[in-house]
């Protein structure tokens, strides 16, 4: 029996297929403007007996494919617990939102918090800032780590931060130091949310932003906690949904 999980996020869609609780396939595509078409395309070659959807597109998916749905909170908690069973705290920074989840040790959510309705402190923020500094999103983190000089960025709003970056560039500031300052501001914002939900123990860091090495390093330095990053941190939601699908087949 094969179970599938699909995470329809704002920036990307991930599909994970499990057989006997082992990942046999993990696919990813950009969400684009027609998420259901992208989802259908991803599922075209995949074989599975049951699928559970999560992410912002889950309700659309439920209507289009008659699949079951869970929230990304529950899915990330389950996915993170599968990879790091001892960690009870999850920080997920995705394309459009960020969240902190605390679980009770068997992967059940007992508390969570999400950021406000804007892109501040999310992958989208980093993406837009990388672009205004002329970096690709893949290189942004490693570029920021090339310098020790950090320019503080005060604006958390994506629009205001962009103008702040423009004026720093106009002053002739080094773009590496600006990049470092931007990473630091995202980490500080995530930390206040982290502290409200959980104040000790290892943290599983998931979502696309966990692929950014500068974010991971900063989180470790500033929290003093173990930051555990799964091999494919952006797959955590889809993995969790697949595990939930598998469970419901038993």
Partner 1 sequence: MSQDLMNTLQQAFEQNVIDIENFKKAGRKAIGCYCLYSPVELIVAADAIPLPLCGTKNDPVSAAEEVLPRNLCPLIKSSYGFAALNTCPFFRFSDMIVADTTCDGKKKMFELMQQYKKVHVLQLPQNQNLTTSLAPWLAEVHTMKSEIEALTGVTITTERINNAIDLLNRERDAKKAVMDLARIKPSPIKGSELINILFKVGFLADKEKGIALMNTMVDHYTAKAERGESPYTNKTPRVLISGVPMGIGSDKVARILEESGASVVGFENCTGYKQVFTVAKTDDPMDVLARQYLSIPCSVMSPNQGRLDLLDDMIKKFNVDGVIDLTWQACHTYNVESFTVEKWLNTTHQLPMLHLETDYSDSDTEQLRVRIQAFLEML
Residues interacting with partner 1, by CB under 8 A?
A: 56, 59, 70-74, 97, 108-112, 114, 116-117
Q: What one-character DSSP code corresponds to residue 117?
A: S
Q: Which is nearer to partner 1, 74 or 189 (CB)?
A: 74
Q: What is the DSSP string of 218-240?
A: HHHHHH-S-EE--SSGGGHHHHH
Q: Which is nearer to partner 1, 113 or 150 (CB)?
A: 113
Q: How far apart are CA 223 and CA 92, in angstroms?
A: 16
**CB of residue 234 to partner 1, shortest distance in Å:** 18
Q: Which is nearer to partner 1, 181 or 240 (CB)?
A: 240
**CB of residue 60 to partner 1, shortest distance in Å:** 11
Q: Which is nearer to partner 1, 117 or 250 (CB)?
A: 117
**CB of residue 197 to partner 1, shortest distance in Å:** 11
- 48, 243 Cβ separation under 8 angstroms: no
**CB of residue 70 to partner 1, shortest distance in Å:** 7
Which CA distances in Å does 120 have to 73, 126, 157? 19, 9, 5
Q: Which is nearer to partner 1, 58 or 183 (CB)?
A: 58
Bin 89: left if φ > 0, else alpha if -120 < ψ < 50, else beta.
Answer: beta
Q: How far apart are CA 126 and CA 120, in angstroms?
A: 9
Q: Which is nearer to partner 1, 69 or 184 (CB)?
A: 69
**CB of residue 59 to partner 1, shortest distance in Å:** 8
By three-state DSSP, how is residue 206 classified? Answer: strand
Q: Which is nearer to partner 1, 26 or 70 (CB)?
A: 70
Angle formed by the axes of helices 137-144 and 175-197, nearest 10°: 90
Backbone angles phi and psi of 210, in degrees to 5: -70, -10
**CB of residue 247 to partner 1, shortest distance in Å:** 13
What is the b/e burial string over 150-176, where b = at least 16 CB atoms within 10 angstroms of the residue's CB? bbebeebebeebeebbeebeeeeeebb
Both structure tokens of 75: 């899915």
**CB of residue 114 to partner 1, shortest distance in Å:** 6
């Amino acid at each position: 029996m094969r179970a599938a999980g699909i995470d329809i996020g704002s920036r990307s869609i991930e599909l994970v297929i499990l057989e006997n609780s082992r990942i046999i396939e993990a696919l990813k595509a950009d969400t684009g403007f027609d998420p259901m078409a992208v989802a259908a395309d991803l599922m075209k070659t995949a074989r599975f007996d049951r699928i559970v959807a999560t992410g912002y597109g889950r309700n659309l998916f439920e209507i289009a494919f008659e699949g079951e749905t869970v929230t990304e909170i529950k899915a990330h908690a389950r996915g993170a617990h599968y990879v790091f069973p001892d960690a009870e705290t999850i920080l997920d920074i995705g394309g459009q939102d960020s969240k902190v989840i605390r679980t009770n040790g068997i992967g059940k959510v007992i508390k969570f918090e999400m950021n406000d309705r804007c892109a501040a402190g999310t992958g989208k923020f980093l993406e837009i800032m990388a672009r205004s500094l002329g970096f690709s999103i893949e290189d942004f983190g490693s570029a920021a780590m090339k310098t020790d000089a950090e320019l503080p960025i005060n604006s958390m709003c994506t629009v205001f931060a962009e103008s702040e970056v423009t004026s720093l560039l106009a002053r002739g500031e080094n773009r590496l130091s600006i990049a470092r300052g931007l990473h630091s501001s995202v980490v500080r914002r995530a930390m206040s949310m982290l502290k409200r939900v959980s104040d000790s123990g290892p943290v599983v860091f998931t979502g696309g932003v966990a692929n950014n090495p500068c974010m991971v390093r900063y989180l470790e330095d500033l929290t003093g906690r173990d930051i555990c990053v799964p091999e494919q941190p952006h797959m955590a939601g889809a993995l969790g949904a697949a595990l939930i699908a598998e469970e419901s087949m038993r």
